[in-house]
Amino acid sequence: MNFSSVEVRFAVEAARAAAGLVQRIQRDLAAEALTKNDRSPVTVADFAAQAVVAAKLAEAFPQETLVAEEASAALRSPDHADVTVKVVAYVRSLFPQADAETVLQWIDRGAAPARGRFWVLDPIDGTKGFLRGDQYAVALALVEEGQVTLGVLACPNLEAGREPAKHGAGTLALAVRGAGARWAPLQHPTSWQPLRVSDEDDPARARLLRSFESSHTNAGQIEAVARALGTQAEPVRMDSQAKYAVLAAGGAEVYLRLLSPAKPDYREKIWDQAAGALLVEEAGGRVTDLDGKPLDFSAGRLLERNRGVVATNGLLHAAVLEALRAVGA
């Protein structure tokens, strides 16, 4: 595969279409809902984005399978009829011929077994970031025999370019195994720039990334790792796989996904890591679990054989694994 492959064209188009719809839903619904502490906008956007990617996959590659986060069961319950009506209406804005049943069936294409060759989708990664107006991503990847071979992240609020951690007009990041990683502005992805990790090799100057949500990580242990490395700066808190895009662009050196003390047996979901992990590897970085093992995408819908994730610019990987061992992570 290379950047001109049909798979790449499909992935970019599907991720951009889903991200565009999600942004529209956010503009329409989220401001009002936030004041009422209502999660329904993210629910509508999540299901609608999954339906759109599934529909585009059915058009482009009717035989291929999709592993995705959502299932239509909840939408089929009369309790959620109001959400379902909105999901169907938004999907019909892109696919006017689709009726409600077709939309629900598109969503359920995501229940395929995670085996052999399959696409993996997180329609909205970082739902809490979406609700807060912070970072989130549409994350789509292709997995072949346990290896991620293509990954795309559409990050509507990420600043592209030299300072990728800032809020901005949107970034599309793309990686193809063996061919590299690149980014383009999400709105007009015509000129692509290479993604390259930072060449910082001094652990004391490492910039760390972590989940915004403390329940998704172990904040205390991250502080301890930072001390062991000798870094002074506070870890940057950010939602979603946008963190991987920042690392791939050289905007940070280390991304830690440690195990929350409340859920020490948590296993990562493949759609939360696949696209971002390839992005970092193809930008010259390294991604393993906390024990230094490669992420194993052949274990089903979860990374059953891995604990947590550590991604770095490569140069600092050994030092970070050593620090993790030293603090007992």
| Number of amino acids touching ligand AMP (CB under 6 A) | 13
CB 86, CB 138: distance < 8 Å: no
Residues 230-289 that bind Mg ion (CB under 5 A): 272
Residue 35 designated active-site: no
**Contact characters 185-214, ligand AMP, x per CB under 6 A:** --------------------------x-x-
Question: 213 contacts which partner out of Mg ion, ligand AMP, none, CB within 5 to 8 A by kind?
Answer: ligand AMP
Question: 84 contacts which partner out of Mg ion, ligand AMP, none, CB within 5 to 8 A by kind?
Answer: none
Residue 304 is a binding residue for ligand AMP (CB under 6 A): no
CA distance 207 to 191: 28
Which of 239, 253, 281, 289 binds ligand AMP (CB under 6 A)? It is 239
Nearer to ligand AMP, 60 or 327 (CB): 327
Residues 103-162 that bind Mg ion (CB under 5 A): 122, 125
**Contact characters 253-292, ligand AMP, x per CB under 6 A:** -------x--x--x--x--x--------------------
CA distance 229 to 204: 6
Q: What is the CA radius of gyration of the chain?
A: 19
Residue 70 is a binding residue for Mg ion (CB under 5 A): no
Residue 127 designated active-site: yes
Which is catalytic among the residues 65, 84, 127, 231? 127
Which residues are CB-contacts of 102 (< 8 A; sequence separation ≥ 6)? 95
Binding site for ligand AMP (CB under 6 A): 125-126, 211, 213, 215-216, 239-240, 260, 263, 266, 269, 272
